[in-house]
A = this chain, B = another copy of it.
């Protein structure tokens, strides 16, 4: 609570000092960072005012971390990674520490990053010990000749690159243990066939994190990090680390990070579909993102949302769920955060 108050105080100061004019990036271009902390809303039993405040504070901290980079002429890639790392390190989101547990009670993490200028990309999936999967994804992009590494191969690569590795105990929280227990008890009481595309409980989808950014040089980037779906089968990979589905960036169109029921988002190739509507149909980012999230995904049965930014700095944050943890910050450093 003390942290939260000091954070809010510092935000007010930032807001006052930059309240009227949006300072441009050092290179003269506008810049903006947009983040999400997952679609769907935690159920009332599980939510407290304190927890909500803490989540909004973490989102604000994430925006500040990325803004600090963008305002000093840093790249959208660096800003996206800095913003995501804050949320991976927070136990309040379904990524990194605090991620959901799979059916075996194990944390398995996925992440991807994409550079809109070069359309280079990196992704990891089903890693169990990488503290910040988004950093591992960046290293796959920068230091390997591959785009995607999974499982033990991804872990060996990450370890070889010298990034922080953690025991499973670092990632697992009491909250997630109870969540898995509840889900598995429900499943025992009313077993559902594994063969149907059943709806996950909205509250069990919450918390994937992501960021998209436009930097002062006009370059876009997108990143996403997640623990996936609670009680997932070991080895399950959702849309987050799939380039084109949960993560996509292209300077010619937009940068997108998605959150929601990943299976549907993969099948609908959500992030690339938004880009294609802009490129081939001449839609605006907002029109394209709304069409995909509020119409196509709804008809398809896919609950969730996306964040997007285009090369002019337009921002879209549509969702078809009850809420989506989200926020953005522009040149003036005034963070906007919201859930509903």
Contact = CB atoms under 8 A, between A and B. Distances in A.
Interface string A272-299: 1100110011000000000000000000
B145 A196 contact: yes
Contacts of A154: 235
B234 A248 contact: no
Interface in A103-149: 108, 114, 119-121, 125-126, 142-149
A156 interface: yes
A148 to B, nearest CB: 4
A37 interface: no
A10 B269 CA distance: 42
Total copies of this chain within the assembly: 2
Given A145-B197, A150-B235, A243 B266 contact: yes
Nearest to A231: B145
Given A147-B263, A244-B244, A266-B147, A234 B272 contact: no
Contacts of A153: 102, 108, 126, 233-236
Contacts of A236: 146, 148-149, 153
Interface string A148-166: 1111111011000000000
A121 B267 CA distance: 7
A151 B148 contact: no
A26 interface: no
Most buried by B among A145, A149, A233, A242: A145
Contact of A269 (B151, B272, B277): B272
A169 interface: no
A194 interface: yes
A157 B244 contact: no
A196 B144 CA distance: 7
A273 to B, nearest CB: 7
Contacts of A99: none
A235 B195 contact: no
B152 A234 contact: yes
A145 to B, nearest CB: 6
A39 interface: no
A274 to B, nearest CB: 10
Given A143-B195, A194-B145, A244 B272 contact: yes
Interface of A: 102, 108, 114, 119-121, 125-126, 142-154, 156-157, 194-198, 232-238, 242-245, 248, 262-263, 266-269, 272-273, 276-277, 280-281, 300
26 contacts: A108-B153, A119-B267, A119-B300, A121-B266, A121-B267, A125-B150, A126-B151, A143-B194, A143-B195, A144-B195, A147-B238, A147-B262, A148-B238, A149-B236, A150-B151, A150-B235, A152-B234, A153-B236, A154-B235, A242-B244, A243-B266, A244-B244, A244-B266, A272-B276, A273-B276, A276-B280
Given A119-B267, A153-B236, 15 more contacts: A102-B153, A143-B194, A144-B194, A144-B233, A145-B198, A145-B263, A148-B237, A148-B238, A149-B233, A149-B236, A153-B235, A156-B234, A244-B244, A272-B273, A277-B280
